[in-house]
Amino acid sequence: MSEKIKMALIATYPRMADIFLQLTEKQENIAAASVYASFERAVEIAKNMEAAGEADVILSRGGTAAQIKNAVDLPVVFIPITPFDAIQVIHHLEPRDKKIAFIHYMKNVYGIQDIAKMYGIEIKEYSFLNYFDIKDAVEDAYQDGIRTVIGGEVAVQIAQSIGMNGYQLSAGKEAVERAIEQAVTVLYEKRKEQNRAMQSKAAYDSLKEGIVVTDEAKRITIINPVACRLFDKRYKAGDVAGKDIINENCLKVYDSHREVPVYLKDLKKKTYAVTHIPIEKNGRFIGVVSRMEDVTKTQELEQKIRKELHQKGFVAKYQFNDIVTKDPEMQNILRRAQVYAQTDSAVLIEGESGTGKELLAQSIHNGSSRKNGPFVAVNCAAIPENLLESELFGYEAGAFTGARKDGKMGLFELAHKGTLFLDEIGEISKNVQTRLLRVLQEKEIMRVGGNRIIPIDVRIVSATNQNLREQSQDGSFRGDLYYRLNVLQLKIPPLRKRHGDVALLAERFLLQYHPDKSRLEKILLALTSYSWPGNIRELQNTMERYGVLLEALGDNVSEQEEIGDILGVTQQKAQGNTMKVEIEIGGELSEIISKVEYEVTNRYLEEFDNNQELAAKALGIGRTTFWRKNKGKNE
């Protein structure tokens, strides 16, 4: 210990003080003080030393030490009497002293009867607790015919006053040295306990919630400042010992030894969530800890988190009631999706482009227990392969050229406690597939260029417009990853197969841009007869164009403009739904198929003015897939 120990000896005879000072003068960690005191004044002196802060620990012997211990809160160490100390006195007795009274505090001195046998004398032991016991012990010895007394200063004085021989028993160097070592240990442990208590108090006091700890006797032992304020200052921190419990729900724990479920209670014009939890040690009930958390602050914190997530774009905007449909198959899919939302299992959503896969994924997130967590969406096809890995898993500083100097958190980490939506999952490379599989198995990630494992808690919802089962069978997609992603499956039908939904959705989209839905009747036949290769996204864009034109021209919009200009590409494709492809027979089947795919994709490129994105959407495939099939003839 760096701080010096203030060690005080209250000696009952001068020789003890001399030994104590000799032993402590060379110990740099001890500031020693010795005071001689009679049996009667020892307590008064000890109290004065405690009040003045002159001692951290007090040493004394026998009954004097016992009296001091009962009077002060400081640690008190007893200086023992050893058999060697007794031998030093007995060795110098007169030959006539054959019957001895040995008067000591409480416990017998070990080996004293063996010493008596060794010297051929009789020793009768008398014990005491206080001054009056000493006087009675000396008088009893006298009545027993004993004329020689060995004991402390008081016993010797009383014996000599009634004509008996008195020999003072002194503690030797060994006993005092042992007591000093014990005093250092005792004080060291006390200071450690005080430090732990201060740390615990600081921890309790720093909490934003109210804490009350009660013992097995239903008395409060700890209460932090927040709890004090909640109870109208009926309790003061540091002045709680022995106060009774005032909460009836807390008392229920003493009867059941079970936690009381969280309940709400109004305190100081705020609402608090209160819980009472039993405390056990080695299976034995020893008390209760009660917690009072400000629900208002919790709500404010949640709002702040949601706001931050919203600013970053990591929120799901849509819910199940945002999905409009009359189609029985689609309604069945929604019912299943609501059931799936209640689990944490991976979900694979299949469907053509534009069918609303992300809308369904957001609804699943908002219908789950993770709804207050982040919703992170990533289009796997839109990010180059060499960047996708670092986007998903993050990277450490200096992981590669151009990396941020402080590294970057990946999308998996950003989605912790929430949902990660992997759109176009069929487009990821084999390398990323392997890493993704490990994440799903181990529930942990390692950043690119990193060497530490980061545990994550993320639900995976993935989507594809491809047939992953077939891809897993032909080896282009890992089969083990497919089964990990496809724990729960939802397959959204294309718009052309959702009976009644074209008119329903067209009306809903039109009303967003124009208040009069009656104009919809003029083009409804054209809308419902079209196959909508771009699905709901294409329908929404079409109705936006129509609504904008109606707002601009109103009644001046002719029927030809409505059908031709508004649905221009739509009508062309609706009237030209067939094409003739001539392929020279020869070669393998895969080559023939590639030629057909090239002709079809090339035709769509022509119809969409070489816009690959629109052509790919119309065919219901990803842009990367479209590009691959369209270049097949030239490879």
- pLDDT band for position 2 (50/70/90)? low
- What is the 8-class DSSP label of residue 90? H
β 220-223/210-215 pair status: antiparallel
pLDDT of 271 above 90: no
DSSP label of 364: H
Last residue of a domain, which of 491, 526, 548? 491
CATH number, position 567: 1.10.8
Answer yes or no: is 63 within a domain.
Answer: yes
154 by Cβ neighbours in 10 Å (0-12 / 13-18 / 19+) ranks as buried
- Whether 234 and 359 map to the same domain: the answer is no
Residue 568's pLDDT is 53
* Residue 517: domain span: 495-575
**Could you tell me if 248 and 216 lie in one domain?**
yes
Domain contains 301: no
pLDDT at 569: 44
The per-residue pLDDT for 535 is 92
Mean pLDDT of all residues belonging to the chain: 83
Is 222 found in the same domain as 182? Answer: no
Total structural domains in the chain? 6
> What is the DSSP annotation of 13-24?
SHHHHHHHHHHH
DSSP lists the bridge partners of residue 58 as 8, 76
On the question of pLDDT at 147 being above 80, the answer is yes
Count of beta carbons in the 10 Å neighbourhood of residue 43: 18
What's the pLDDT score for residue 448? 84
Question: How confident is the model at residue 632, as a pLDDT?
Answer: 63
Provide the H-helix boundaries in 323-453: 328-341, 357-366, 385-393, 411-414, 430-442
Q: What is the CATH number of the domain that holds 35?
A: 3.40.50.2300
Report the share of the chain in percent with pLDDT over 70: 87
- Sign of the four-CA dihedral 400, 402, 407, 410: negative
pLDDT score of 103: 86
Q: Is residue 575's pLDDT more than 60?
A: no
307 assigned to some structural domain: no
- Reduced to 3 states, what is the DSSP secondary structure of residue 494? coil
Strand order across the beta sheet in which 459-464 lies: 375-379, 419-423, 459-464, 347-350, 488-491
* pLDDT band (50, 70, 90) for residue 187: confident
- Separation between Cα atoms, residue 166 and residue 102, nearest integer Å: 10
Verify that 233 and 337 share a domain, yes or no: no
Higher-scoring residue by pLDDT: 549, 351? 351
pLDDT score of 553:
75
Do 388 and 473 lie in one domain? The reply is yes
Residue 242 pLDDT = 52
Question: Which of the listed residues 115, 141, 170 is the one where a domain comes to its end?
Answer: 170
The most confident of 158-167, 387-396, 553-562, by mean pLDDT: 158-167
Residue positions counted in the chain: 635
CA 178 to chain centre: 47
Look at residue 387 in the predicted model and tell me its pLDDT: 84
Under the banding of pLDDT at 50, 70 and 90, the label for residue 303 is low
Residue 620: pLDDT over 80? no
227-233 mean pLDDT: 71
**For residue range 457-510, what is the model confidence (pLDDT) as tens digits?**
999 999 999 999 999 999 999 999 999 999 999 999 999 898 889 999 999 998
Choose between 573 and 290: higher pLDDT: 290
* 265 shares a domain with 285: yes
Do β-strands 375-379 and 419-423 pair in parallel, antiparallel, or remain unpaired? parallel
DSSP string, 51-68: HHT--SEEEEEHHHHHHH
Domain boundary among 533, 549, 575: 575
Task: Report the range out of 4-8, 50-54, 355-359, 595-599 with the highest average pLDDT.
Answer: 355-359
Residue at 192 is within a domain: no
Quote the distance between the C-alpha of residue 485 and its chain's center: 28
Claim to verify: residue 456 and residue 327 sit in the same structural domain: yes
Name, of 307-316, 400-409, 556-565, the range with top average pLDDT.
400-409
pLDDT tens, residue by residue, 353-398:
999 999 999 999 999 999 989 999 999 988 887 788 888 988 887 7
Going along 295-423, which residue ranges are E strands? 347-350, 375-379, 419-423
Strands 347-350, 375-379: pairing is: unpaired
| Confidence grade of residue 202 (pLDDT, cut at 50, 70, 90) | confident
pLDDT above 70: residue 308: no
SS3 for 447-480, per residue? CECCCCCEECCCEEEEEECCCHHHHHHHCCCCHH
Q: How do residues 86-106 score in pLDDT, each as one tens digit?
A: 888 888 888 888 899 998 876
Is residue 584 in a domain?
no
* pLDDT of res. 577: 54
Both structure tokens of 194: 């005080």
| pTM score of the predicted model | 0.47
